[in-house]
């Protein structure tokens, strides 16, 4: 990309200053920062002295990829980090300095750092009995693991926002309109549970994310050794997407900017998609006064003129009181037609899926569009929607992949199949899988084995927790119905499991790896050409390995494999892995929720927005145990959260979502909606209302032209 004048200023000048670089998405801010890094290295700055700071590891991928492809010899790797990663590294490295102040029961021993999965496991192991004994959370009908994640989310908010975790309930209650409602009891139960979990962590030397952040902030503020270690090592900072980061990060940057040689702080306007994780765009804005040079980019490098006009008109519908957004005020023209926006209305939702699949097939087969330049978006992406769309794409020969974070491990068919096969391979666990899971495991494991024949095999050959030989089928009609080809593949899998049972059992992660490598990834088996399944298998292997390494150090007599399988069966929400986000190297259509796509921060040529009539596009997730807007620095303690606040927050979030999506589309957006949604109810969501309002307004304006 050829740099424009303002980009060149960022890339080639002010190497002894701090720069605040802002503008909407798609203006080339990160590109200018990458070129600045290259210029610093050309000028002799060691790569090891440059730090790229991002709110989420995935947002650092463009830096890694661009510098890896660059011809500039870095002499080393540029360090790309997040506040969470930095906290882990510093607490791990300087544990002796903070151990006595940490409050853990055994400060002379190394701590155990917990991932999201491990947090849920210890919640279930130690806290769930107390919840039942004290009869907490009797009212909310919510999945237990999602309840645990919300409780821990409250602890995380306290750490990154900067208030004592003991104040969680009082802050939430102070904003509630109904002081005697059942919601107040839920908040008090959430406080009690958070306190129990924090004490459990201290008793067992467990450090969850919130404790890591608190200890890192303590080291930063009270241990000059730690601050000097970081500020002397990293003299040049590139801080991207500061609007998506937390007040804890912003506080550290205030100190760091005074000590570094140069810095670039990058802010996307009209963003802040990670508010539910503690992001604070308004707090980030205050860093501007700490910078000596201010640069604002206002030339779109991604959107076409029609896309830009579409974004302006949608802004007029979503923010009528404020008029056009700042980035669009310089373009006062009205667009009465959008040739690059396709709108399709149907009566029933399956018709929308057919329409989307047909257009995707036409783009790829007739127009030669690369599948990786197409993304299919929805407010949420439930299993039913993914399955329905994947089936249609398979019928049309379209390669596809999906990315849906924050899902239970057992909800991924590949993970469930691996766990079921593990139960079959370890009868000593006495955890016989039910026939339903066995049938699905066989279908996932053997290519071309459909559910009907997989269930037939299970009914005939699954006995007492064991799979019997295919030759044991006495009815020739059943054998012919299954086919001997599929039977041979079934027999290979069954024989492998039988051979494995003859030897000493492996650690569970090693078992998964062996099963994947020797059977499931081979030709004619289910994971061979299924990128999503292989990715899930890799995640499961890493997850099982981490579980084994942590729990055996905390409790040496525990049977890690059995505990892990029980944890997966309980519906634990899976960790996020970088490989889930780096899959964009795969030339396939991406199916993902809208917010997940935004956090990839990568533009594409074509977007399909499905089910725009769904209320999910403009509504905050129901979280009965937490409230991200109240647990922030921007909310005044004691101020009530009203229905008006909820509506305004939803409208602002929808505007930011729509603007972010349009700004990440180069050529064309397809809007698909149906009169009746997936559940059969009429669709009247805020996004659909905004689109219809825009169309009516433009039609009226066209009549007056």
DSSP string, 236-292: EEEE--GGGS-HHHHHHHHHHHTTSSEEEEEEETT--TTGGGT--HHHHHGGGGG-S
Query: Are 274 and 55 a contacting pair, CB within 8 Å?
Result: yes
> What pLDDT score was predicted for residue 140?
60
- Is the pLDDT confidence value at 297 over 90? yes
In this predicted model, what pLDDT tens digit does every residue of 299-351 receive, in sequence order?
A: 888 888 888 888 888 998 888 665 444 334 334 333 445 666 778 778 888 89
Report CA torsion sign: 489, 387, 602, 573: negative
CB atoms within 10 A of CB 64: 16
More confident residue, 677 or 134: 134
Q: Determine if residue 570 is left, alpha or beta; phi over 0 gives left, psi from -120 to 50 gives alpha, anything else beta.
A: alpha
The reply to whether 306 falls in a domain is no
The pLDDT of 260-268, averaged and rounded, is: 96
DSSP secondary-structure letter at 617? Answer: G
Could you tell me what percent of the chain has a pLDDT over 70?
A: 94
**Does any domain span residue 100?**
no
430, 498: one domain: yes
The distance in angstroms from the start CA to the end CA of the chain is 38
pLDDT (0 to 100) of residue 76: 65
What is the mean pLDDT of the segment spanning 613-635? 88
Q: Which helix (H) or strand (E) holds 446?
A: none
Write b or e for each residue in 317-337: b if 16 or more Cβ atoms lie within 10 A of its Cβ, otherwise e: bbbeeeebbebbeebeeebee
Residues near 332 by beta carbon (within 8 Å), at least 6 away in sequence: none
Name the strand (E) or helix (H) holding 535.
helix 531-554
CA distances from 635 to 161, 186, 280, 427, 638 (A): 11, 21, 11, 55, 9
Q: Specify whether the CB–CB gap between 423 and 403 falls below 8 A.
A: no
- Angle 648-278-629 (CA atoms, 0-180°, nearest 5)? 30
Domain shared by 414 and 276, yes or no: no
* Statement to judge: residues 552 and 448 lie in one domain: yes
User: Which pLDDT belongs to residue 323?
Assistant: 45
What's the rounded Cα separation, in Å, for the pair 364 and 343?
19
Predicted local confidence at residue 322, as pLDDT: 54
Task: Indicate the SS3 state at residue 400.
Answer: strand
Predicted pLDDT of residue 665: 94
Question: Tens digits of per-residue pLDDT, 222-243?
Answer: 999 999 999 999 999 999 999 9
In a domain? residue 424: yes
Burial class (CB in 10 A: 0-12, 13-18, 19+), 173: middle
Q: Is the residue at 102 inside a domain?
A: no
Answer whether residue 23 shows pLDDT above 80: yes
Task: Based on the fold, state whether residues 513 and 426 are members of the same structural domain.
Answer: yes
Please check whether residue 674 is in contact with residue 613, taking contact to mean a CB–CB distance below 8 angstroms: yes
Backbone angles phi, psi at 490, to 5 degrees: -60, -45
**Mean pLDDT, all residues of the chain:** 89
- Within this chain, do residues 545 and 440 fall inside the same structural domain, yes or no? yes
- Of 519, 521, 522, 572, nearest in space to 544 by CA: 572
Indicate whether 419 and 402 sit together in one domain: no
| Alpha helices for 334-448 (secondary structure H) | 349-361, 383-395, 413-425, 435-445
How many structural domains compose the chain?
A: 4
The verdict on residue 108 lying in a domain is no
Give CA torsion, residues 180, 181, 185, 187, to 10 deg: -110
The confidence band for 33, taking pLDDT boundaries of 50, 70 and 90, is very high
Q: How far apart are CA 705 and CA 701, in angstroms?
A: 6
Distance CA 111, CA 109 (A): 6
| Same domain, yes or no: 355 and 396 | yes
Residue 574's pLDDT is 82
Last residue of a domain, one of 570, 592, 610: 570
Between strands 466-467 and 462-463, the pairing is antiparallel
- 521 & 602 share domain: no
* Residue numbers of the domain that contains 522: 409-570
> Which H/E stretch holds residue 119?
helix 116-122
Contact criterion met (CB below 8 Å) for 596 and 407 = no
β-pair partners for 604:
665
Q: At 407, phi and psi to the nearest 5?
A: -115, 155
The per-residue pLDDT for 381 is 86
pLDDT of 61 over the 70 cut: yes
Spatial separation of the C-alpha atoms in residues 610 and 375, rounded to whole Å: 11
Task: Identify any residues that bridge with 344 across adjacent strands, giving them in sequence order.
Answer: 672
Do 630 and 172 meet the contact criterion of CB atoms below 8 Å apart? Answer: yes
pLDDT in tens, 413-436: 899 999 999 999 999 999 999 999
CA distances from 285 to 178, 248, 633 (A): 34, 14, 13
Q: How far apart are CA 211 and CA 88, in angstroms?
A: 10
Q: How far, in Å, CA of 295 to CA of 267, rounded?
A: 11
Residue with tokens 């969470």: 84
Q: Are residues 481 and 530 in the same domain?
A: yes
| pLDDT exceeds cutoff 50 at 148 | yes
Q: Is the dihedral of CA 249, 254, 259, 265 positive or negative?
A: positive
496 and 533, same structural domain? yes
Cβ-contact 254, 287 below 8 angstroms: yes
CB 296 within 8 A of CB 272: no
CA angle 527, 528, 531 (to 5 degrees): 65
Q: Residue 509 is inside which H or E element, if any?
A: helix 508-515
The pLDDT assigned to 575 comes to 80
The residue among 368, 227, 344 whose CA lies nearest residue 672 is: 344
Confidence (pTM): 0.90
In the predicted structure, residue 178 carries a pLDDT above the cut 90? no
Domain with 675 in it: what CATH number?
3.40.50.300
- 506 and 592: one domain? no
Examine the domain organization and report whether 415 and 533 are in the same domain.
yes
Residue 39 lies in a domain: yes
Banded model confidence at residue 662, pLDDT cuts 50, 70, 90: very high
Strand partners, 264: 19, 238
Give percent of the chain above pLDDT 90.
Answer: 64
pLDDT, average across residues 159-170: 96
What burial letters (b/e) apply to 178-213, b meaning 16+ CB within 10 Å?
A: eeeeebeebbbbbbbbbebbbebbbebbbbbbbbbb
For residues 676-696, average pLDDT: 82
Non-local (6+) Cβ contacts of 211 within 8 A are 102, 159, 198, 201
Calpha distance 703→705 (Å, rounded): 6
Residue 564 lies in a domain: yes
Q: Among the three residues 539, 570, 601, which one is the final residue of a domain in this structure? A: 570
- Residue 475: pLDDT band with limits 50, 70, 90: confident
Residue 365 within a domain: yes
Vertex 622 angle, CA 619 and 625, to 5°: 145
Collapsing DSSP to helix, strand or coil, 472 comes out as helix
Q: What is the spatial distance between Cα 455 and Cα 447, in angstroms, rounded to a whole number?
A: 15
């Amino acid at each position: 990309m050829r740099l424009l004048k303002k980009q060149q200023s960022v890339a080639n000048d002010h190497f002894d200053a701090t720069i605040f670089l802002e503008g909407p998405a798609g203006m080339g801010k990160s590109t200018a920062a990458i070129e600045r890094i290259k210029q610093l290295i050309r000028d002799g700055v060691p790569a090891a002295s440059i730090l790229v700071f991002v709110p989420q590891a995935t947002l650092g991928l463009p830096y890694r990829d661009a510098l890896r492809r660059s011809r500039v010899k870095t002499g080393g790797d540029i360090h790309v980090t997040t506040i969470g990663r930095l906290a882990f590294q510093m607490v791990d490295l300087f544990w002796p300095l903070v151990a006595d102040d940490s409050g853990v029961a055994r400060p002379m021993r190394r701590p155990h750092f917990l991932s999201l999965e491990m947090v849920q496991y210890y919640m279930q192991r130690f806290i769930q009995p107390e919840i039942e004994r004290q009869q907490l959370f009797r009212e909310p009908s919510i999945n237990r693991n999602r309840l645990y994640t919300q409780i821990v989310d409250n602890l995380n908010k306290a750490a990154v926002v900067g208030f004592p975790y003991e104040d969680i309930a009082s802050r939430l209650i102070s904003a509630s309109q109904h002081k005697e409602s059942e919601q107040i009891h839920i908040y008090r139960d959430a406080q009690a549970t958070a306190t129990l979990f924090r004490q459990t962590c201290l008793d067992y030397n467990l450090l969850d994310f919130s404790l890591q952040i608190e200890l890192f902030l303590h080291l930063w503020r009270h241990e000059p050794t730690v601050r000097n270690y970081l500020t002397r090592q990293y003299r040049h900072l590139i801080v991207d997407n500061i609007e998506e980061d937390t007040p804890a990060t912003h506080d550290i940057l205030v100190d760091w900017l005074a000590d570094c040689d140069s810095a670039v702080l990058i802010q996307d306007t009209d963003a802040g998609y990670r508010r539910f994780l503690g992001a604070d765009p308004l707090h980030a804005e205050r860093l501007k006064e700490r910078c000596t040079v201010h640069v604002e980019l206002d030339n779109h490098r991604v959107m076409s003129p029609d896309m830009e006009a579409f974004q302006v008109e949608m802004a007029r519908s979503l923010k009528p009181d404020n008029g056009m957004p700042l980035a669009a005020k310089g373009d006062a023209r009205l667009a009465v037609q959008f040739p690059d926006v396709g709108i399709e209305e149907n009566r029933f939702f399956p018709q929308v899926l057919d329409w989307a699949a047909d257009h995707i097939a036409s783009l790829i087969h007739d127009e030669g569009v690369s599948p990786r330049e197409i993304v299919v978006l929805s407010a949420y992406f439930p299993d039913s929607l993914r399955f329905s769309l994947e089936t249609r794409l398979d019928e049309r020969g379209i390669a596809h992949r999906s990315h849906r974070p924050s899902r239970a491990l057992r909800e991924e068919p590949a993970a469930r199949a691996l766990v079921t096969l593990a139960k079959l391979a370890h009868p000593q666990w006495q955890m016989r899988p039910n026939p339903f899971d066995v049938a699905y495991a066989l279908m996932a494991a053997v290519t071309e084995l459909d559910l009907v024949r997989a269930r037939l095999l299970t009914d005939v050959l699954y006995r007492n927790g064991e799979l019997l030989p295919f030759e044991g089928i006495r009815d020739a009609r059943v054998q012919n119905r299954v086919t001997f080809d599929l039977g041979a593949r079934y027999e290979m899998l069954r024989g492998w499991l039988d051979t494995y049972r003859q030897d000493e059992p492996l650690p569970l992660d090693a078992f998964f790896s062996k099963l994947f490598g020797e059977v499931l990834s081979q030709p004619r088996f289910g994971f061979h050409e299924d990128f999503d399944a292989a990715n899930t298998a890799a995640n499961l292997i890493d997850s099982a390995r981490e579980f084994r390494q942590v729990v055996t150090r905390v409790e040496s007599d525990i049977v890690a494999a059995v505990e892990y399988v029980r944890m997966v069966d309980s519906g634990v929400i899976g960790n996020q892995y970088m490989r889930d986000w780096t899959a964009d190297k795969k030339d396939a259509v991406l199916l993902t929720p809208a917010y997940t796509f935004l956090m990839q921060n990568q533009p594409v040529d074509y977007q399909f927005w499905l089910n725009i009539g769904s209320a999910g596009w403009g509504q905050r997730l129901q979280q009965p145990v937490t409230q991200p807007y109240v647990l922030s620095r921007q909310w005044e303690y004691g101020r009530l959260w009203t229905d008006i606040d909820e509506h305004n927050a939803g409208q602002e979030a929808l505007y930011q979502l729509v603007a972010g999506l349009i700004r990440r589309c180069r050529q064309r957006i397809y809007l698909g909606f149906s009169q009746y949604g997936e559940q059969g109810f009429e669709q009247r969501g805020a996004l659909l209302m905004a689109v219809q309002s825009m169309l009516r307004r433009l039609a009226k304006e066209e009549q007056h032209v």
